[in-house]
Amino acid sequence: MSEQETTVFEKLQKSAIIAVLILDRVEDGVPLAEALLAGGVDAMELTLRTPAAIGALKEITARVPGMLAGIGTILTTDQVKEVVDAGAAFGVAPGMNPRIVEAALAAGLPFAPGICTPSDIERALEFERKFLKFFPAEPSGGLKYLESIAAPYAHLGVKYIPLGGVNPSNCQTWLSHPLVGGIGGSWLAPKPLIAAGNWKAIQDAAEQAIAIRDGIFRSGKA
């Protein structure tokens, strides 16, 4: 793992909460990032599910320097180049596609592929990936399932970011577990709040998540 990757993944683990976002309008990117940052969330993943993600990323990296902004749902090698050119701090994928990982490594993009099975983990380890997205987390069996599939690799120091069904009612349980290096929070800024420009509600959700995180950190459970 490169020094750049190590630095980025250490920052993500320190942040622990990564806002996962779907944007329909480029102009929503900056006020959204500012609202999250005001609430204490300083890491975000813009998903490539809409055309606005790349433009929003460029705006955020230029105007909100305190935000660690990456791109998710990277599905093609062309997208790897696109997100690197746009200045993404990191990349994430829903699955473990060797071609995408190879392209990300060649481009110098800190990259976390998605896993859901032991075979996925082993393929990721072949590329020295030890910071992995666990997706879909709750539908796959939740924390109990992750404990089972991760057990054979625990001595290697692999950390997981669960996404999919993670919410305010279970995020404390996820964050408290030593396997978890952070959580993906799509509930922090749902599309209706973004569409309405309700930045205060998004800031409030961020503050509540950070309060849970800080309580765990103070207790020494994470």
Identify the active-site residue in 5, 34, 133, 159.
Answer: 133
DSSP 8-state secondary structure symbol assigned to residue 178:
T
Q: How many CB atoms lie within 10 A of CB 208?
A: 15
Catalytic site residue 3?
no
Max Cα distance, the chain (Å): 46
Both tokens assigned to 19: 């806002």
> Is the distance from CB of 186 to CB of 158 less than 8 angstroms?
no
Identify the active-site residue in 34, 45, 130, 159.
Answer: 45
Catalytic site residue 45?
yes
What does the alpha-carbon distance between residue 53 and residue 50 come to, in Å, rounded to a whole number? 6
Q: E strands within 56-174?
A: 68-72, 91-92, 111-112, 114-115, 131-134, 159-162
> Which stretch of DSSP H or E encloses residue 179?
none
**Tokens 């800080």 belong to which residue?**
214
Catalytic annotation, residues = 45, 133
